[in-house]
């Protein structure tokens, strides 16, 4: 309470750099994964690229434009989709928002109709166009959101967690759509996501940032091989007790409960371990997964930290 009263008159502020020392260039038509843990600075970077935020230092050029000049010619070429935010009008059908965007982006009637038909077919949302947005499911809303953002045929897309909160089937459909859009229109796409599957299926190249700093820029298979030394095996045995001691020979037991065991196995030995366990024990179910992206980034970051400290 005393602290609260004190803060009435004297409040302390501290400065925080959301993004620093981030430099990269992207060629036309590339589909890049832009990944990092929460608070890494991904969205801030996308917002600088789309001209929403002014960088305090450095230079940003997108297709020859300085984004924060916010020239209409630039804004007509780009699109920013934020998975956690909805810009369709809540009480009206998506079609109304599409028509409004048509006027805003000055899309001709012919082009609008062509794009609308193509996009709604790709996304399979023809039958919900005249349903109020408030009555749509999250997946349908997300698809309509994407259509609204693509009606003006942007060639540069910033997708900020577009699959967040969607079920597995919807995520796959959205990924297929993004891949198709990239292929068909040679659109440059920067995608941020916490789902490793989004990045693995869509992006050959990834840029990794953490705490506002660029950690890695290169091929995805390199980062996975180099920084993700382990795979996760989730085993469900037919009956208890589970052979914990035997399993320790193959990897580290992260945790176990009842007949379920989570085992961390070295990447190179994961197939061998899985095959051995299946052969020698009564396993009802086995799942091999990549570690969560945060683990990969953590490994990457730990490695970078070790390198920095080692150098100093």
Partner 1 sequence: MGLLNIISLHFQQVFHHRLRSLVWFFIPLLNNLVLILFWSGALKNTIADPNWTIYTATTYYFLLTIANAMLSSHIEEDVANYDIQQGELVRYLIRPFPYYWIKFIEEIPYRILQGSYGIILLIFFSLFFGTYIRITANPLILFFSFIIAVFAFFITFTIKMNLGLSAFWFKDSRGFFELVTITLIIFSGGVVPLYLLPQAVQIISYILPFSYTAFFPIIAVQGKLQIFQLFQVIAMQLVWLGILIGLNRVLWKKGIKKFTAIGQ
Partner 2 sequence: MMKYVRLYRALFRFNIQNLIVYRAHFINSTISTVGWGVFQYVWIELLTIRTKSAFGWSKQELVTLAILYIIIIGIFHFFFSRNFDRFSRIIDKGELDFLLIKPVDSQLIATTHIHNYPNLIRVILGVFFLMIYTRSNNLFFTIQGWIGLVVLAFFGIMLLYSLWLFYCTLLIWFPRLTNVVEFLYTINGMARYPAEMIRELRNFVLFFLLPFSISIATPAKVLVRGAWDGDILFLIGLSGMFFILTRVFWKYALQHYTSASS
Which spans of this chain sit near partner 1 (rule: CB under 8 A)? Answer: 1, 4-5, 7-8
Q: Return the range that interacts with partner 2 (CB under 8 A); candidates 99-107, 118-126, 179-187, 298-306.
A: 99-107
Which residue bears the tokens 């409004």? 100
Task: Report in angstroms the alpha-carbon separations of 126 from 89, 95, 101.
Answer: 18, 10, 18
Angle at 156 between CA 164 and CA 210, to 5 degrees: 50
Strand 230-237 relative to strand 78-82: parallel, antiparallel, unpaired? unpaired
Q: How far is the CB of 7 from partner 1 (least distance, A)?
A: 6
**Residue bearing tokens 């197939």:** 271
Minimum CB separation of residue 164 from partner 2 in Å reads: 9
Q: Could you say which of partner 1, partner 2, none residue 141 binds, taking C-beta under 5 to 8 angstroms by partner kind?
A: none
Residue from the set 21, 24, 28, 70 that interacts with partner 2 by CB under 8 A? 70
Q: Least distance (Å) from partner 1 to the CB of residue 82?
A: 24
Considering only 81-89, 136-144, 171-179, 303-311, which stretch makes contact with partner 2 by CB under 8 A?
A: 81-89
Distance, in Å, from the CA atom of 305 to the CA atom of 254, rounded to the nearest integer, reads: 25
72 binds, among partner 1, partner 2, none (CB under 5 to 8 A by kind): partner 2
Residue 100 interacts with partner 2 (CB under 8 A)? yes
Site for partner 2 contains 104 (CB under 8 A): yes
Considering only the stretches 93-101, 165-173, 257-265, 290-298, report the one whose residues sit in contact with partner 2 under the rule CB under 8 A. 93-101
Nearer to partner 1, 1 or 169 (CB): 1
Minimal distance, residue 88 CB to partner 1, in Å: 21
Considering beta carbons, is residue 1 or 27 the nearer one to partner 1? 1
**Least distance in angstroms from the C-beta of 268 to partner 2:** 37
Instruction: Identify residues 45-64 at the interface with partner 2 (CB under 8 A).
Output: 47, 50-54
HSE of 112 in the Cβ direction (CA atoms, 13 Å)? Answer: 15
Specify the stretch interacting with partner 2 by CB under 8 A; choose among 70-78, 174-182, 230-238, 294-302: 70-78
* Paired residues of 159 in beta bridges: 81, 191
List the single partner that 182 binds among partner 2, partner 1, none, CB under 5 to 8 Å by kind: none
- Binding-site partner at residue 87 among partner 2, partner 1, none, CB < 5 to 8 Å by type: partner 2
Contact track, partner 2, 126-145, x by CB under 8 A: ------x-------------
- Which residues of this protein are in contact with partner 2, per CB under 8 A? 43, 47, 50-54, 68, 70, 72-73, 75-76, 78-80, 82-85, 87, 89, 91-92, 96, 99-100, 102-106, 132, 160-161
């Amino acid at each position: 309470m005393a602290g609260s009263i004190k803060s009435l008159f004297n409040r302390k502020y501290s400065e925080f750099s959301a993004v620093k020392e981030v430099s990269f260039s992207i060629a036309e038509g590339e589909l890049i994964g832009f990944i990092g843990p929460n608070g890494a600075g991904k969205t801030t970077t996308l917002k600088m690229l789309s001209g929403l935020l002014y960088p305090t230092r450095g230079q940003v050029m997108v297709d020859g434009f300085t984004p924060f000049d916010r020239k209409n010619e630039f804004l007509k070429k780009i699109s920013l989709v934020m998975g956690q935010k909805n810009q369709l009008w809540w009480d009206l059908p998506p079609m109304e928002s599409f028509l409004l965007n048509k006027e805003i982006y000055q899309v001709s009637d012919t082009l609008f109709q062509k794009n609308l038909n193509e996009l709604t077919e790709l996304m399979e949302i023809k039958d919900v166009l005249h349903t109020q947005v408030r009555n749509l499911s999250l997946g349908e809303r997300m698809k309509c959101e994407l259509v609204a953002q693509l009606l003006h045929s942007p060639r540069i897309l910033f997708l900020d967690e577009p699959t967040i909160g969607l079920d597995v089937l919807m995520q796959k459909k959205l990924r297929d759509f993004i891949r198709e859009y990239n292929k068909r229109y040679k659109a440059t796409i920067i995608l941020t996501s916490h789902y490793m599957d989004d990045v693995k299926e869509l992006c050959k190249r990834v840029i990794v940032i953490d705490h506002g700093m660029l950690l890695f820029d290169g091929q995805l298979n390199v980062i996975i091989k180099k920084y993700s030394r382990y795979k996760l095996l989730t085993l469900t045995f037919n009956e208890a007790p589970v052979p914990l001691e035997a399993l320790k020979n193959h990897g580290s037991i992260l945790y176990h409960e009842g007949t379920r065991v989570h085992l961390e196995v070295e990447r190179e030995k994961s197939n061998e371990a899985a095959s051995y366990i299946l052969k020698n024990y009564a396993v009802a179910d086995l799942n091999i997964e990549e570690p969560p992206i945060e683990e990969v980034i953590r490994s990457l970051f730990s490695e970078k930290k070790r390198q920095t400290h080692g150098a100093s």
